[in-house]
Amino acid sequence: MKKYYITTPIYYVNDKPHIGHAYTTILADTLSRFRNIIGEESFFLTGLDEHGLKVQQAAEKNQVTPEVHCDQMAPAFIELWEKLNINYSDFIRTTEKRHTKIVQNILNQVHKNGDIYQDEYEGWYSISEERFITEKEVESGLFGEVKKIKEKNYFFKMSKYQSELIKKIESGELSIQPKSRKNEVLGFLKQDLSDLCISRPKSRLEWGIEIPFDKDYVTYVWFDALINYISAPKYSEDNNTFDLHWPADVHLIGKDILITHSVYWPTMLMSLNLPLPKAIFAHGWWLTDEKKMSKSLGNIINPLMLIDEFGVDSVRYYLMSEMVLGLDATFSMDSFVKKYNSDLANDLGNLVSRVCTLISNNFDDKMPNYKSKDSDLSKSFNAIDMKQHLDHFQMDSLLHKIMNFVRSVNGYMEKNQPWKLVKEDKEAAGHILYHAAESLRVAAIMLSPVMPEKSKEILIALGATASKLDWGALKPGDKISKGDPIFPRIVQ
Ligand code: MSP
């Protein structure tokens, strides 16, 4: 059966990983785990973009060869992913033979079908963007250092596919989300597309994949990098594997790399006669207000440093719930502490302790019996349509739904007061506690894609053995094992 195929951008190894890289990777990991929970098999690809000028320059700065530089940088990413509990299915580096070979196959194929030609071109070249830019872009002043360059290069006939691409985006065959990003791409496609310069003369840049039909050139880093999405699942090498994965269900990206993914990449795929990815989802930026951060907690300069202090799951939860679909978000220590204390310590953690303590004190540590399987809580649980949120990449609103459900369990406890009821009608109190505990079990499972470890702790406390989302899986009579508070309050 075809897998639900999720990708992150592959990250440049010119610098250490930071919050931006971490966010997209956690988002992909969370989405992948969520798809598993709704019964699908997922395939989650991430990796590193190791060619190009930026990496060559970073290596020069460190006085090592680009190969050595890449090998020195890769562990920083892999270690951070381990620390963040990232469960990727494959990790690709663009210097690996399995990738370079396929890039060269593709260049040959596209050359043969007439979509690559050589031409002399004179234009403005942006060093930071590593591409030729238009007069208009030069005037904008947004492209840093620019140089006038005249040289012979190879070009990909991107313009040939412009109208077909517009149709595919308009019809939703290629879904670009959120809608504002789709409009941005369609706006970009209103002007005539030029062809894409896909080579760099070795005299200017050596660090790249050699053009197979001209050894004086290397491949433009984006033409090389985008291919990772199909080289990892073995395009042109193993049809069965490829068909199990491609087309990707979603490319998760940041908004700054929207055009490369929504214009360059689909036209490359069209030239190869391959289906387009089903969706591209572009998230906003994390802004860190260092002043604000240092004011509230002098030592924190990087949100990733929170992991050691407050645990990986709470950082994952914060990042996933705080960034609203498609918008920018500002990281601040205050908002982290507020969210942690209100959602995790208070609403969720306290509830687990309270329910477990009541069961422990009144039912001899055993899950009480229920009168009927249904309750208001089972109804609100059944109303959460996870798939619908996931299909629209609305992770933040799904989390808010789940947390609202947790809050409704708190409301249910307040309304029914099992601590009082137990004195008059033990059976009725048992019923209430059973439903509260069962709600916490399903909530923990629904939260496990974001907080894999903490969810396990909650399930252990409840003595839950079933990990299915079917209501009523807790067994009356089973032992609970109330432990320490799961989310101790942060005292500032
Ligand atoms: N190598 C290219 C991607 C090639 S994919 C075929 C690249 N790499 S990158 O390392 O510069 O950036 C990777 C991702 O990190 C981008 O999606 C970018 O949006 C994201 N972020 C970088 N800083 C960010 C924030 N501060 N906040 C959120 N994401 C941002 O581009």
Query: Is residue 173's pLDDT more than 60?
Result: yes
Cβ < 6 A, ligand 1 pocket: 9-12, 19-21, 23-24, 49, 225-226, 253-254, 256-257, 285-286
* pLDDT band of 301, cuts 50, 70, 90: low
For 124, the 3-state DSSP assignment is strand
Question: Of the residues 7, 16, 19, 257, which should be mutated to test ligand 1's pocket, given the most ligand atoms within 8 Å of the CB?
Answer: 257
Of residues 19 and 476, more confidently modeled: 476
Residues linked to residue 288 through DSSP beta bridges, in sequence order: 331
CB 320 within 8 A of CB 395: yes
Vertex 236, ends 230 and 240: CA angle to 5°?
85
Classify 389 as helix, strand or coil: helix
Do 433 and 456 meet the contact criterion of CB atoms below 8 Å apart? Answer: no
Expressed in angstroms and rounded, the spacing between residue 9 Cα and the centre of ligand 1 is: 7
Task: For the beta carbon of residue 178, count every other beta carbon within 10 angstroms.
Answer: 19
292 pLDDT above the threshold of 90:
no
User: In a mutational test of the pocket of ligand 1, which residue from 6, 46, 49, 230 has the highest number of ligand atoms less than 8 Å from its CB?
Assistant: 49
Alpha helix segments (H runs only) across 392-477: 395-416, 418-424, 426-447, 452-462
31 vs 401: CA distance, rounded Å: 16
Residue 298 has pLDDT above 70, yes or no: no
Taking the C-alpha atoms of residue 476 and residue 372, their distance in angstroms, rounded to an integer, is 12
Q: For the chain, which domains are there?
A: 333-492 (1.10.730.10)
CB within 8 Å of 32: residues ≥ 6 apart = 4, 6, 42, 43, 44, 87, 89, 449
- End-to-end CA distance of the chain: give it in Å, rounded: 50
| Closest alpha carbon to 129 in 241, 224, 221 | 221
Q: Check whether 430 has a pLDDT greater than 90.
A: yes
Tens-digit pLDDT profile for residues 230-240: 999 999 999 99
d(CA 50, CA 96) in angstroms, rounded, equals 10
Residues 190 and 203: their CA atoms lie apart, in Å, by 35
For residue 303, what pLDDT band results from cuts at 50, 70 and 90?
A: low
Q: Using CA atoms, how far apart are residues 273 and 262, in angstroms rounded to an integer?
A: 16
pLDDT at 290 over 70: no
Please write the tens of the pLDDT for every residue from 71-97: 999 999 999 999 999 999 999 999 999
Please check the confidence at residue 49 and state whether its pLDDT lies above 70.
yes
pLDDT of 289 reads 63
